[in-house]
Chains A and B, each alone.
Chain A
Amino acid sequence: MSDSPIILKVEGLSKYFGGIKAIDNVDIDIRQGEIVALIGPNGAGKTTFFNCLTGIYTPTAGDIYLSDPRNGKTTRLNGKKPNKITEIGMARTFQNIRLFPTMSVLENVMIGRHCRTKALIFGAVFRNKATRIEETQIIERSYELLKKIGLHRQVNEEARNLSYGAQRRLEIGRALATDPFLLLLDEPAAGMNPKETEALVALIREICAEGHSILLIEHDMKLVMSLSDRIFVMDYGKKIAQGTPEEVRENPAVIKAYLGEDVDA
């Protein structure tokens, strides 16, 4: 794994909200094909970190570079619009589910194909051949994805009527529809029962095996330890540890951040 190319390189990233240092000088890198976890106690700045990566926040300082392994092009993401970043090849899901509630399952996924297709209003009005072919392709590809996430029997259901676990999977499906090479998952297993979590782990492995790299925030330590190749640990906006699951588990700084200082020691 260590010889595959770096696809995400974050250098000295900081994000301040007034006097609060939500993220303070964090370096992170992710290689092609890795599953990397970002963990840390509540309020450590993990979601803010995601928001900086995806362009929702503009970082106060630092650089974010994304390299597409498919063509080797490196782009600096600072100041880019979120939809541009999605176009380059990074997609995300949210901690709290954010589907388009009154659109159908199929439509939710189709929306994700948007940035990969060309036709806009002209094509919509005149419906020329190219538009029709493109639309068929969108639907076919969306079906494929829905099959993978196991929702192909509910294509016409409104997204809000799905079960919780299914909604989470649909969010991942919608993110995949944008053809990302790096997928950011913000607490994908939150609120899931053990069976749903198991299915999720299998799904994440499958996505990774297909060549997507994954960066995930998660509190379920069993999931994190079994799934990730490497782990980064944040606390109070700073990166306090990194390494393989074994290294991180033994790291005294991590234990301190999670459990507090040992009084007897």
Chain B
Amino acid sequence: MDYFIELLFAGLTRGSIYALIALGYTMVYGIIGLINFAHGEIYMIGAFTSFIVATVLSIYGFPLLAIVIIAAVAAAVWSSAYGFTVEKLAYRPLRKAPRLAPLISAIGMSIFLQNYVLLAQTSDFLPFPELIPEFAFMEPVAHIVGSSDMVILVTTAIVMIALTCLIKFTKIGKAMRATAQDKTMAVLVGVNVDRVISATFIIGSALAAIGGLLIASHIGQINFYIGFLAGIKAFTAAVLGGIGSIPGAVLGSLVLGLTESFATGYISSDYEDVFAFSLLVLILIFKPSGLLGKTETKKV
């Protein structure tokens, strides 16, 4: 039973991280119908930024909590700047182009950012400082659930609730929903759609950066290439839940995380990715719009 619970929490932790990244994919898709393939790289840049900030701060002997908070804020701001710039440079000029053009542009951006970090930093795996301490009150259950798992779960939950409130109750949230439902009409009632799209990229990037910090600290090492697989997995999760749907992205991520965790725990860790992507194929065959996605009925 302990083993089951251990796998359950490992799966939820993994799923939470996927969710932080998948939200960026799904929000951008919901608003401009683009799969932002550079999103995984934004997450990687978030991890690198927090690595640099945390390392510098720990040299100066800052307390751990301060390091975590400053690193998280720095990573979120820096990644947002990247997300904002990528949209402005690579997607905005192509807004009216056929859908394939921005998609190719996104893949190009992804490759560019990977290689930029490779050149600017290193190709080696860097040891990431352990930012999340072992809490004393977690001691009795430490063999099942680690402290960092707990921190990731709680942080993700808080972020999700905040995001839901932002979209449900605020003006920018309303503008985002309106833009997603009918962009032309949103412009005509005076919504500055360019600004809404920028805001979407900024929010998505900040979430991915926080995910980057959490996972890097959890796993303990980073590399310029981590964004690729994480991005693909999060994209899978978003499609699994129904791309464009925010609750769908969260659900899809948790389902994916749990599947991976149980499959590796009970069967074999060698097949982790095989299970993840088989699940995707199965869902797409039986429910092409994803778990919570809307089926589009076209009028004939």
Contact = CB atoms under 8 A, between A and B. Distances in A.
Given A56-B184, A103-B178, A115 B170 contact: no
B92 interface: no
A174 B189 contact: yes
B178 A175 contact: no
A114 B181 contact: no
Contacts of B170: 124
B185 A120 contact: no
A124 B185 contact: no
Given A120-B172, A120-B199, A111 B188 contact: no
Interface string B185-200: 1111111110100010
A135 interface: yes
A83 B187 CA distance: 5
A136 to B, nearest CB: 12
Interface string A138-179: 100000000000000000000000000000000000110110
Which range holds the interface residue count of chain A? Answer: 35 or more
B298 interface: no
B190 A94 contact: no
B182 interface: yes
B99 to A, nearest CB: 20
A69 interface: no
28 contacts: A56-B184, A83-B188, A87-B190, A91-B190, A98-B182, A98-B184, A100-B177, A100-B178, A100-B185, A101-B181, A102-B177, A103-B177, A107-B177, A110-B171, A110-B174, A111-B175, A111-B191, A112-B189, A112-B190, A114-B191, A115-B190, A115-B192, A120-B195, A120-B199, A121-B172, A123-B171, A124-B172, A177-B189
A187 B193 CA distance: 26
Nearest to B294: A102
B190 A86 contact: yes
Interface in A103-123: 103, 107, 110-112, 114-117, 119-121, 123
A135 B171 contact: yes
A77 B178 CA distance: 25
A83 B193 contact: yes
B141 to A, nearest CB: 35
Interface of B: 166, 170-175, 177-178, 181-182, 184-193, 195, 199, 202
Nearest to B186: A111
With a 10 A CB-CB cut-off, give which of A54, A99, A100, A125 has the most chain B CB atoms.
A100
A124 B171 contact: yes
Interface of A: 54, 56, 81-83, 86-87, 91-92, 94, 98-103, 107, 110-112, 114-117, 119-121, 123-125, 135, 138, 174-175, 177-178
Given A83-B190, A91-B190, 17 more contacts: A54-B188, A56-B184, A82-B184, A83-B187, A83-B192, A86-B188, A92-B188, A98-B184, A100-B177, A102-B181, A111-B178, A114-B175, A115-B191, A119-B171, A120-B172, A124-B173, A135-B171
Contacts of A100: 177-178, 181-182, 185-186
Contact of A114 (B182, B184, B190): B190
Contacts of B166: 124-125
A231 B94 CA distance: 41
Contacts of A102: 177, 181
Contact of B174 (A82, A107, A123, A174): A107
Contacts of A138: 171
A170 B164 CA distance: 26
